[in-house]
A and B are shown apart, each in its own frame.
Chain A
Amino acid sequence: EVQLVQSGAEVKKPGESLKISCKGSGYRFTSYWIGWVRQMPGKGLEWMGIIYPGDSDTRYSPSFQGQVTISADKSISTAYLQWSSLKASDTAMYYCAREYSSENWALGYWGQGTLVTVSS
Chain B
Amino acid sequence: EIVLTQSPGTLSLSPGERATLSCRASQSVSSAYLAWYQQKPGQAPRLLIYGASSRATGIPDRFSGSGSGTDFTLTISRLEPEDFAVYYCQQYGSSSTFGQGTRLEIK
Contact = CB atoms under 8 A, between A and B. Distances in A.
Contacts of A68: none
Interface stretch (B12-20, B43-51, B71-79): B43-51
Interface residues of B, number: 24
A100 interface: yes
Nearest to B34: A106
Interface string B33-46: 10101010000111
A52 interface: no
A108 B56 contact: yes
Interface residues of A, number: 22
A100 B50 contact: yes
Nearest to B97: A47
A106 B47 contact: yes
Contacts of B44: 95, 97, 110-113
Nearest to B44: A110
Interface string A26-59: 0000000001010000001111001000000001
A58 B39 CA distance: 26
Interface in A35-92: 35, 37, 44-47, 50, 59, 61-62
B96 A108 contact: no
Contacts of B37: 45, 107
The 4 closest A-B pairs by CB, nearest first: A106-B50, A105-B92, A106-B35, A110-B44
Interface of B: 1, 33, 35, 37, 39, 44-47, 50-51, 56-57, 86, 88, 90, 92, 95-101
